[in-house]
Amino acid sequence: MSLFNRRLPKPVVILLILLSSFSSVMSQSSKVTLNGYVRDASNGEELIGVTVYFPELKKGVITNAYGFYSITIAEGAYEITFSYVGYTTIQKSLTLSSSTELNIELEEATETMQEVVISAEAADANVTDIAISTEKVDMTQLKNMPAVFGEPDLIKMVQMMPGVITAGEGTSAYFVRGGSADQNLILIDEAPIYDPSHLFGYISVFNSDVIKESQLYKGGIPAQYGGRLSSILDVRTIDGNNKDFGGSAAIGTLASKAMIEGPIKKDRGSYLLSARRSYADLFLKIVGNENRVYFYDVNAKVNWKQSNKDRFFVAGYFGRDAFKLGGVFGFDWGNTTGTFRWNHLFSEKLFSNTTFIASQFDYGLELEDEALGFRWTSVIDELSFKQHFNWFVTPKNELNFGYNLTYRRFQPGNLQPNVESSIFENVELQKLYALDHALYLGNKQVVSDKLTMEYGVRFSIFQNVGPGDVKIYEDPQDNIRPEVVRVDSYSSFEPIITYYNLEPRFSARYLLSDVSSVKLSYNRMAQNVHLISSGTVPLPFNTWNPSSTYLKPQLADQVAAGYFRNFKDNMYEMSFEGFYKYMQDVTDFADNANIFFNEDLATEFRQGDSEAYGLEFQLKKNIGKFTGFVNYTLSKVTRTVPGVNHGNPFPSNYDRRNSFNLLASYELNEKWNFTSTFTYSTGRPITLPTGQYQYQYYNPSYISERNGYLLPDYHRLDFSAVLVPLKNKNRHMQTKWVFSVYNAYNRKNAFTLYSREKEADGQPTGEKEFVMIYLFPIVPSVTFNLSF
């Protein structure tokens, strides 16, 4: 196979030229480097994205994902500002004659001080930052926002962002710019989460109490990220307070949670332990003692700063859902992740992050029965090593480069009889293995006062490796009687097939004025893990497959352009973006595919192309008593897959013409905050029958077209009120009440629509009807929070 096995886009050539011009900017003299960490003064948490700015030079830098910054400038005396939204800006006067380390602690801004922040540099990040198609989650908004059952949920906020749509309520799946749910990479402390759902998606696995920062990249994705086509959701958890011991607890309608954090040694090390457990046993209307329904999750973290040059960090996430019905039928699923991280400063300019990651997702189904008893399990394991360098070469060039190695083991299914008398035999579907290498290099270059560019390339090498047998089919798409011509056997780590992909990334920002800019981006993404699911919304019981002899890597090329404008001293942020995305070899399945237990699963694969384009509008107000956002997306997504819908293009499951989301939050006084959200979107495309016929005593429907109809439009209004009692002021213990109303006007939103035969007195009549399923009526809830 040739290195560039598929269409190589022209931007690669441009990038190579840009990179070669880079050496000329590096040779300059009598420079000094200022570097350090920026932290929260109250708990020692490192702050991500703090602007470090030199007004005289009109130069600045922002802290990276680990709170570190470094900038190299000429010797001299300077004013320096450190600013971050929600924190009081610090101004320092420094005379720099040699390289200096400067660690800064920022105080959280109080209500009155927030006004000061308005004029701070960081507030105009919307315009000045190079990031395009990137959304940051405002954690305060998230905690105040109304939520079903009162449990604040990160994914629910993500689902409201421009360019993101949902499949309806009650699911943690989200779709970004025409991509399927499995095209989103979800990371918690850099470890991937394969299924982010608790309770089938009613809430997600992210406990909002421990989230420090989360960003969603929809486009303009930097070279250090890869592996999925449509988005990266990068969630970082808090490190734990390294100054004082603290904790919190909350009692909610759905789940209760508790968290403790504190210093191991003041300013040196900290720990965090957080746990959440559901009351779903009550929430699901199941009666009887034999039923058991619950979920839990635990976040644990230890953080140690050996010196300012070396810091270590270990984090773990453990979560599980378990259901048992009638004492006989059980199922469960869970994610487990572990991250070990070492941050090291090779010099004041070269920051290194070394990470070891382990991630596991598994599910099980069990039936306790004398004759039909079995336990079915499926597991995916992932181990990775990541070496990332952040080199602050000059104030105008910041290099990011590194290497990732990932090993994956897929166990699609193992069926075991769980009693001796069971009629089942132990059957195991063949395990699959993959090795994934990625090398990347990117540079953020300040070309002029107005123009900044970030460009790079990621080179990924994906290998499906042994041990394993590969069936060679006479016709790989014959899913009725697959004819195996021969079976090729491979030993451990022997490559079965190797795919090379060169993924160029590019983005640019051009300042039109102090308050407006235009941004442009192009990126290619490659995806080598494929979710084996043919429904719209993935279930926890879906398995994954690597790219293989019969599954090509999925590729996406995306161009996005945007206009960004702030108003009234950055009080209002506006953006307007357009995107066009073309995806090659998106994974789909034959009509009637059997994807659950199939030794010839490869014969069910159908890959085709998908095209998505759209416009996104966003208006945000982040400052003041009244905050919120309005997001609107106009988009179209089609798929053309040979062997599906007779090869004709069809609207993808993720096609929504219009999508609108609004969040408005009002801080009445120190006691009360009121938040309201409204969401509207065009209905989901659905395949409906157009006819029916008789076969024996059945009345099957006749299907003529894939996704030919739309569900009714979706819309919903929610309210919440947060009460912080005034008596909190004079005591250590803090209390908070969250009252919320979900679906305030009790809209019956279609979850799905299916057809069935009408019945009269329990007998089928031969006539057919459609039945719409809707989930939540109006749901009020109360949550009580306690922190100390």
For the CB of residue 284, give the shortest distance to other proteins in the complex, in Å: 6
For the CB of residue 427, give the shortest distance to other proteins in the complex, in Å: 5
For the CB of residue 171, give the shortest distance to other proteins in the complex, in Å: 9
Tokens 């508790």 correspond to what residue?
258
Q: Which is nearer to other proteins, 395 or 685 (CB)?
A: 685
For the CB of residue 172, give the shortest distance to other proteins in the complex, in Å: 12
For the CB of residue 231, give the shortest distance to other proteins in the complex, in Å: 22
Number of other residues whose CB lies within 10 A of the CB of residue 31: 14
Q: Which is nearer to other proteins, 79 or 769 (CB)?
A: 769
Q: Which is nearer to other proteins, 167 or 555 (CB)?
A: 167
For the CB of residue 760, give the shortest distance to other proteins in the complex, in Å: 12
For the CB of residue 165, give the shortest distance to other proteins in the complex, in Å: 15
Q: What 3-state DSSP class applies to 450?
A: coil
Quick one: tokens of 578? 């357009």
The C-alpha atoms of residue 392 and residue 788 are separated, in whole angstroms, by 40
Number of other residues whose CB lies within 10 A of the CB of residue 532: 22
Say which amino acid occupies 748: K
The C-alpha atoms of residue 548 and residue 408 are separated, in whole angstroms, by 13
Q: What is the DSSP string of 689-703?
A: --EE--BTTB--EE-
Burial 706-717 (b: 16+ CB within 10 A, else e): bbbbbbeebebb
Q: Which is nearer to other proteins, 105 or 705 (CB)?
A: 705
Q: Which is nearer to other proteins, 494 or 599 (CB)?
A: 599
Say which amino acid occupies 573: E
DSSP 478: -
For the CB of residue 443, give the shortest distance to other proteins in the complex, in Å: 44
Number of other residues whose CB lies within 10 A of the CB of residue 47: 20
For the CB of residue 654, give the shortest distance to other proteins in the complex, in Å: 12
Distances in Å between the Cα of 274 and the Cα atoms of 256, 626, 717, 787 are: 11, 32, 31, 13
DSSP 17: H
For the CB of residue 609, give the shortest distance to other proteins in the complex, in Å: 19
Q: Residue 23: is it exposed, middle or buried by C-beta count within 10 angstroms (0-12/13-18/19+)?
A: exposed
For the CB of residue 477, give the shortest distance to other proteins in the complex, in Å: 13
Using a CB cutoff of 8 Å and minimum separation of 24, what contacts does 314-318 make?
A: 314/338, 314/339, 314/340, 314/341, 315/189, 315/191, 315/237, 315/339, 315/341, 317/188, 317/189, 317/191, 317/193, 317/205
Return all residues near 65 (Cβ < 8 A) that are at least 6 apart: 48, 234, 236
Q: Which is nearer to other proteins, 193 or 532 (CB)?
A: 532
Q: Which is nearer to other proteins, 260 or 429 (CB)?
A: 429
Q: Which is nearer to other proteins, 243 or 706 (CB)?
A: 706
Q: Which is nearer to other proteins, 263 or 685 (CB)?
A: 685
Distances in Å between the Cα of 156 and the Cα atoms of 148, 587, 661, 726 are: 10, 26, 11, 30
Q: Which is nearer to other proteins, 578 or 764 (CB)?
A: 764
Distances in Å between the Cα of 84 and the Cα atoms of 138, 141, 227, 254, 620 are: 13, 17, 31, 34, 17
Q: Which is nearer to other proteins, 459 or 589 (CB)?
A: 589
